[in-house]
Structures are given as structure tokens and as C-alpha cells.
Amino acid sequence: MRVYNKTSCMVKPASQTWSGKLALSELDQTGVTTHVPTIYFYPHSPDDWLTLIQTLKTSLSSILVHFFPLAGRLSVIPGGRLELDCNAQGVQFLDAYADMKLVDMDTLLPSPVYHQLIPSIDYQTTPLEETPLLVLQVTRFVCGGFSLGLNISHVAVDGQSAIHFVSEWARVSRGEPLEAPPYLDRKVLRAGDPPMTSEVVNHEEFGPPPVLIDPSDVNERDNETTVTMLKLTAAQVAKLRNKANESWKGETGRGFTRYEAITAHVWRSSCKARNHKPEQPSALAFCVDVRSKMRPPLPQKYFGNAIVDVIATGFAGEIVSEPLGFVSSKIRDVINKVDDEYVNSVIDFLKNQEDLSQFRELIPTANGDEGRFYGNPNVGVISWLTLPMYGADFGWGKEVHMGPGTHESDGDSLILHGKDGDGSLVVALCLQARHMEDFKKVFYQDIDMMI
């Protein structure tokens, strides 16, 4: 596929917005602080392509009046902290053409083609203060269909907030009024305030992750990775949950969720595929949405990051040999500990740090270092099951597919709803190429063997 005639412009808020420095919460400052790619595919567009482009630009300009932080820029302040300058510099809008039909694409799922459909961010050459928080590309295919690829800063928003923005932009694009304005004051997560206590609780999730006890001569970072999409039918999902629940219901007796059972299975499969020794420590990293866990709960449509990164740990031997319910219970135990007191202890821990930059992942530095490595022997499993991902109609019909862009970090995975609405789920997984075929084999064989 060839993408050509690509043009670029900055889209700014349609009217004057508040300007100044917006204090970010500690939950905005840590974790994955690069941009997160997503993509939407649509089968139809108007005959006049310029009408679509102008409609999208005009509606984007209008919605940025309400979501004006996205039109700003980040900067680093003392203590390695980030600050959001609401300066209305705008978001980057690209439009392009592709020389193929949507139906001729091998798949709408993540593939190298995405690199041409979702604009990338060059962190090495573009200063942070000049990097847009949102870059997007609209690409028309020869059949009249089009794609909308977005790359949005994870410092500015989490998944819930990003979907909220896209949903409201779509409403305005099709001529409807704003439904729910964003709640922009991040002080509800004590942004800019001093710590509530000087007592620092140690949070192991901010420490160095486990490393291989028998490393090879090759740096694990340098190994080639590949991406796959593993579909789980509704029957397979039920099988995993039943297997986890038959052997272990924990102290509460409450059955394990789909996420807990599937994530336990991914963790176990990774240990098997990587052929870890029984004594090999392994960490499972994931995040928990805290909107409803705070007391009082965060305001509806809170716009920012309202997630905490957590880890479950274990040894490969127990992860592989113990019942699936045992592994699921490790995940459940971590989720259960995330309450208002826990979240505030995380915030206090981070506020007491002299330099927050040490806790940021995957922002390349001048020498090419990408921070802490969370790949082999570890995995990360993020759930998109609670996100209202589908139904973004900009005026020409709903998408035929929406999903994550390419991700190339060893061990990273996402759990998504299948697009058919039949109860199926999809695990989007990135793994070192040398381990991928073994992973797929044990992933499905172990399910097939479950009674």
C-alpha cells in the first residue's frame, strides 16, 4: 500500500480558551508517558472528500474549546515533573490518500500498514515543549472508505478520557450538541498540593521489575518482537472462567471475572513459552481505574489519568503448576487492595519523591535509553473491556473496526471485545518473535485440554 499527498496543519480551538499552567496530578506523571495510538476504519465517505476534511477540522476546532488542554503542550519543571501549558497551540491534523481498497487489506487488525495510517511521534528530534498532545491522520481509500488514526498523549488522558473526547467530537461533527463536558480540574487528585503525610509507604510497583536469572548474551531489549491477535470465542472465555472458579474462589467466594481468568492464562502461557526455570521471578503489570474507588468518587467525566499501575508477582514454577484459580487470585488480591486509602498512599509516595522522571516509562532520552524494561520475564495485560470503544459516527456511519495501533514492547498485551458482539474477546499481544509460536501453541492447547 502506498500513502501519498499527505498534508498537515494545526487545528486550534475555535474561540479563546483559558490559558495558563495546568497542574498535573501524580497519576498523570508516571507509567507510560508516550502517545497511545488507536485507529478507526469507516466504509463510506461523501463523494466530495474536501467536505469530509473540512467537517472534521471545523468540528475538531469546536470541540477543542471544551477539551482545550489537548491543544496545549507539556514542559518539564523542577523535580522532574511535567506541567501542561494551556496555550492553544493546537493539534496536528494530517490528511492523505491510500492506493488500495479497504476490502483488499489482509486484515484491519494491527499490522505494519498501521505505520502509514497513524502519524508517529519523533521524540528524539522534537522537543517536548513543541510536541502536540494529539496528532491524527485521516486517510481515504480508493473505495471511498477512510481511516482515522490518532496518537494521543497518555500524560494528558487515560483510555476513558480519550474515548470521551472522540465520542464528543463525533457528536459535534454530525451536528449534535455536546452531551457531557469534561471535568478539567485535576485538583480532585490533589494536583499541585503537598503530600498529606510525610510517612512514605513503599510501593513495589515503582521498583525495578524482575530480570532473567540466566540472561543470554543478547540484551533482551534488542530481540525482535512481533504482534498477534488471539481470538477467544465466548465458549473459550467461559471455559477459562470455569476452570479458574472450579479450583479457587478466594476468601469472598466471588467468581473470577473474565479479565482475571484470561490474564492469569496469558501470564501462565508466557512463562511456558519463554521456558522459564521454576525459580524465575515474574511480574504481571496492569492498571486499575480509580474513578469509582475514591471517596468521594471522582466527578463524572473527569478528564485526565485516573488509573494506578499495579503489579502481581510470582515464580514461574507456581504460575505454571498451580491451578488457574491460584494465579487468578494473585490478580484479584492486587485489584482488591486498590481503594481510596491505597490511591492516596500512591499519590503521597510520588509527591515525596525528589525526582519523578525516574518513574516514567518509555520516554526515550538523548542517548536512546528507554527507561525500565518490562519485557521478558514479565508481562503487561491491559483491559479495554470497560471502554465504550465502538460507535464513533462522525456523520458518515459507524466504524467497521476500532482498535489499538501497533505496539512493539515485549510482553505488552490488551484484552478487547470482539467486533461481532457475540461474546468473543481478542488478546492483542506483542512478544519476542522467538517465543510467539510457542506462546500461541500453549495458549490454545491449554484451553482445549480444559474440561
Looking up cell 486509602 gives: 341
Task: Quote the distance between the C-alpha of residue 334 and its chain's center.
Answer: 19
Those residues whose C-beta lies under 8 Å from the C-beta of residue 46, and which sit 6 or more positions away, are 52, 396
Q: Are residues 176 and 228 in the same domain?
A: no
Q: Is residue 49 part of a domain?
A: yes
pLDDT in tens, 191-210: 888 888 777 677 878 888 99
Backbone φ, ψ for residue 3 (5° rounding):
-110, 125
Q: What is the pLDDT of residue 432?
A: 95
Q: Do the beta carbons of residue 123 and residue 131 sit within 8 Å?
A: yes
Tally the domains of the chain. Answer: 2
Residues 270 and 177 in one domain: no
Q: Report, as residue numbers or ranges, the catalytic residues.
A: 154, 393
Q: Does 183 lie in the same domain as 74?
A: yes
- 289 and 171 within one domain: no
Boundary (domain end) residue, out of 189, 222, 250: 189
> Do 219 and 184 belong together in one domain?
no
Which residues make Cβ contacts (< 8 Å) with residue 269, sequence separation at least 6? 439, 442, 443, 446
Spatial CB neighbours of 238, under 8 Å, sequence gap ≥ 6? none
Q: Which residues of the chain have pLDDT under 50?
A: 362-369
Per the domain annotation, does 199 fall within a domain?
A: no
Q: Which amino acid is at 289?
A: D
Cell of 63: 470541540
CATH of the domain at 32: 3.30.559.10
In a domain, 198, yes or no: no
Residue 201 lies in a domain: no
Residues 328, 432 within the same domain: yes
Q: Please check whether residues 146 and 217 belong to one and the same domain.
A: no
Same domain? For 129 and 243 the reply is no
**Same structural domain for residues 29 and 78?**
yes
Residue range 370-424, pLDDT digits in tens: 555 679 999 999 999 988 888 899 999 999 988 888 777 899 999 998 877 789 9
Q: What was the pLDDT predicted at 220?
A: 84
Query: 74 and 184 share a domain?
Result: yes
The radius of gyration of the chain's CA atoms, rounded to the nearest angstrom, is 22
Tell me which amino acid residue 219 is.
Answer: N
Nearest partner of 267 among 248, 280, 253, judged by Cα: 280
Residue 60 lies in a domain: yes
In a shared domain, residues 168 and 250: no
Same-domain check for residues 174 and 92: yes
Q: Domain range holding 158?
A: 3-189
Separation between Cα atoms, residue 18 and residue 7, nearest integer Å: 29
Last residue within a domain, chosen from 189, 220, 252: 189
Around 217, how many Cα atoms within 13 Å sit in the side-chain half-sphere? 0
In a domain, 206, yes or no: no
- 207 in a structural domain: no
List phi, psi (to 5°) of 316: -55, -35
Residue 204 lies inside a defined structural domain of this protein: no
Alpha carbon distances (Å) from 349 to 42, 155, 166, 288? 45, 19, 33, 17
pLDDT on residue 57: 98
Q: Are 150 and 35 in contact (CB under 8 A)?
A: no
How are beta strands 81-86 and 73-77 bridged, if at all? antiparallel
Q: In what order do the strands lie in the sheet with 379-383?
A: 225-232, 425-432, 412-417, 379-383, 281-289, 307-315
CA distances from 130 to 71, 125, 449 (A): 11, 10, 53
> Which residues make Cβ contacts (< 8 Å) with residue 369, sequence separation at least 6?
none
pLDDT computed for residue 258 by the predictor: 96
Compute, in degrees rounded to 10, the torsion defined by CA atoms 420, 291, 26, 149.
20
Structure-block grid coordinates of residue 135: 496528532
Alpha-carbon distance of 196 to 322, in angstroms, equals 41
**Secondary structure, 3-state, the chain:** CCEEEEEEEEECCCCCCCCEEEECCHHHHCEECCEEEEEEEECCCCCCHHHHHHHHHHHHHHHCCCCHHHHCEEEEECCCEEEEEECCCCEEEEEEEECCCHHHCCCCCCCCCHHHHCCCCCCCCCCHHHCCCEEEEEEECCCCCEEEEEEEECCCCCHHHHHHHHHHHHHHHCCCCCCCCCECCHHHHCCCCCCCCCCCCCCHHHCCCCCCCCCCCCCHHHCCEEEEEEEECHHHHHHHHHHHHHHCCCCCCCCCCHHHHHHHHHHHHHHHHCCCCCCCEEEEEEEEECCCCCCCCCCCCECCCCEEEEEEEEEHHHHHHCCHHHHHHHHHHHHHCCCHHHHHHHHHHHHCCCCHHHHEECCCCCCCCCCCCCCCCCEEEEECCCCCCCCCCCCCCCCCEEEECCCCCCCEEEEEECCCCCCCEEEEEEEEHHHHHHHHHHHHHHHHCCC
